[in-house]
Amino acid sequence: MTLRAKFVLYLVVVHGLMAWAAVWLIRTNAWWLFAAEAVFIASFSTGLFLIQRFFASLDFIRDSAQLLEDSDLMSRYREVGQPGIDRLVRVYNRMVDSLRDERVRLQEQQQFLARVLRESPGGILVLDFDGRVEMANPAALRLLQADAAGVSGRSLEELDRPLTSDLAALSEGRSRVLALWGGRRVRAAHGTFLDRGFRRSFYLLEELTEELRQSEKAAYEKLIRMLSHEVNNTVGASNSLLNSCLSYASQLRTDDRTDFEHAIAVVIGRTAELNTFMRSFADVVRLPPPRRQMVAPEALVDDLTRLVAAECAKRNITLRREVEADGAPVSMDRSQIEQALLNVAKNGIEAIGSGGTLTVRLSRRDGRRVLEVEDTGPGIQADVRDQLFTPFFSTKDGGQGIGLTLVQEILANHGFGYALDGPSGGPTRFTIAFE
C-alpha cells in the first residue's frame, strides 16, 4: 500500500469515527446534525487539501529524481504558486541549467580533445586499469604499423609490433630514443595520470628521424670542414718544409744522410696518410645528389658478389646469392648504391672474420623489393643497438665510424628504407627496401 493510500485510509477511518459520534449526538439532539455535517465536510476537505499539498512536493521530488536518473537535463518545471514547491522548482531549474551547461562544455572539450588526438603528429597510447591499450591515435598506429582493432584491448607484451617490447620495458616517468625499421628514431615517454583515484599509464611517441639526422649532419659537416681546413693547411706547409729539408741531405755525412732521408720520408708518408684519412670524412660532406637511372636490383647483387668474392675466398667465407627474379628496374644512382652495399658487405666480412657465411638476398616482401646482406658474425650487442647510425661511432678497434654514416646518407637521399638488426650472437642483417 502506497503512502498516499495510507493517508486516505487514515482520513476515511478518522471521519468514519466522527460520523459515528455525530449519529450518537443526533439521537440526543437533532440540531447537532447540521453542526456535525459542517465539521465533517470542513475536516475532510482540509485533510484532502493537506494531503495534496504534501504529496505534490513528494511527486515533484520523485519526478525530478527520475529525470536526473534518465539524464534528462532539458526538462524544467513551472512555478505553481505554492511557496515551498516554488522554491524547490527554482532550485531544481538552476541545478539542471548548471548541469546542462557543464555537460555541453565537457562534450565540447571532449570533442576538441578527440580531434587534437586524431590530428596530432605525435603518437599517443593510453592504457586502461589492467594495462591494456584503450586508445591509440592514428600517429601511434602508424608507428606501430597496426590498426586500432589489432591493438585495442591487448597489453604491450602481447603485441608483436615495432616498439611495443621497448615501450613495455620503459619505466614510469622515463623517456628514451628508440630505433625503428628504416633508420627511423622515435622518442618515447611513459607517464601516468589518475582516473577515479586509480593510476593509469600513457605513452607519448615523437618521431625524431629527420630532425636528428639533419642536426647530426649539420654538426659533423661543420666539424669535418673545420678539420679539413686546418689539416690541409698544416699538411701542405709541413710537406713544403720537409721537401726543402731534403735538399740539405747532401750536406750531411754519408752515415747520417740515410737516417735523415728515411726520417723525412716517414713523416711525409704519415702526412699523406693523414690527408687520405681526412678525405674519407670529407667524402660524406661532399656527397652529391643522386644521378638516377633505371637499374635492375639483380645487377646490383651480381656486381656486389663479384666485388667481395675474392675477399670471402681468402677468409674461407661461404658467399651465397639468393635472388627471386622480378625484372622490375628501380630508379637509383647505381654508383652510390653500389658504394653503400660494398660498405655493408665489408662490415659483414670483418664481423665474420673467417669461416662463416655471407648471404646476399633479393626478394619481395609486403609488396616491396628488398635486398638483404646477412652475415653470421657475432651479432649486435644490446648496448650499441641505438647508436649504430650515430656519426663517428664504431665498434671496431680503430674504426672511424663513418661507414654507416655514409650508407645512411646515400639511402636517405634516395628515399629508400633501411634497417640494421640482429640478435646478440647473430646473424646480422642489413635490409634495404627499394619501394
Weakest mean pLDDT among 153-157, 267-271, 272-276, 286-290: 272-276
- In the numeric block, which cell numbers belong to residue 139? 600517429
| Amino acid residing at 51 | I
Nearest CA among 103, 43, 37, 53 for reference residue 74: 103
State residue 47's pLDDT score.
62
- Any idea which of 114-128, 142-156, 171-185 has the lowest mean pLDDT? 171-185
Question: Which amino acid does the sequence have at 208?
Answer: L
Q: Which residue has the higher pLDDT, 356 or 285?
A: 356
Q: Is 422 helix (H, G, I), strand (E, B) or coil?
A: coil
Tell whether the model's pLDDT for residue 352 goes beyond 80: yes
Separation CA 7–CA 162 (nearest Å): 72
What is the per-residue pLDDT across 85-128, written as a single tens digit (0 to 9) for each? 677 778 878 888 888 888 888 888 888 888 887 888 788 888 99
Angle at 285 between CA 395 and CA 396, to 5 degrees: 10
Using CA atoms, how far apart are residues 214 and 222, in angstroms rounded to an integer?
A: 12
> What number is the average pLDDT over the span 143-147?
81
What is the pLDDT, as a whole number, of residue 23?
Answer: 64
C-alpha 136/C-alpha 167 separation (Å) is: 14
pLDDT digits (tens, 9 = 90+) for 187-243: 889 999 888 888 899 999 887 755 656 666 666 666 666 666 566 666 777 777 777
By the 8 A CB rule, do 231 and 238 touch? no
Name the CATH topology of 293-433. Answer: Heat Shock Protein 90 (3.30.565)
pLDDT (average), residues 284-310? 83
Among the listed residues 282, 284, 289, 280, the one whose alpha carbon sits nearest the alpha carbon of residue 413: 289
Tell me the percentage of the chain whose pLDDT exceeds 90: 3
CATH second-level architecture of 120-207? 2-Layer Sandwich (3.30)
As a whole number of angstroms, the distance between CA 144 and CA 140 comes to 6
Instruction: For residue 148, count other CB atoms closer than 10 A to its CB.
Output: 13
Q: What is the pTM of this model?
A: 0.51
388 closest CA partner among 377, 404, 372: 404
| Pairwise CA distance, residues 207 & 221, whole Å | 23
Phi and psi (nearest 5°) for 96?
-70, -30
Q: Is 130 or 87 the better-scoring residue by pLDDT? A: 130
Q: Are 306 and 429 in contact (CB under 8 A)?
A: no
Question: Does 275 have pLDDT greater than 80?
Answer: no
Return the C-alpha cell found at 78: 513551472
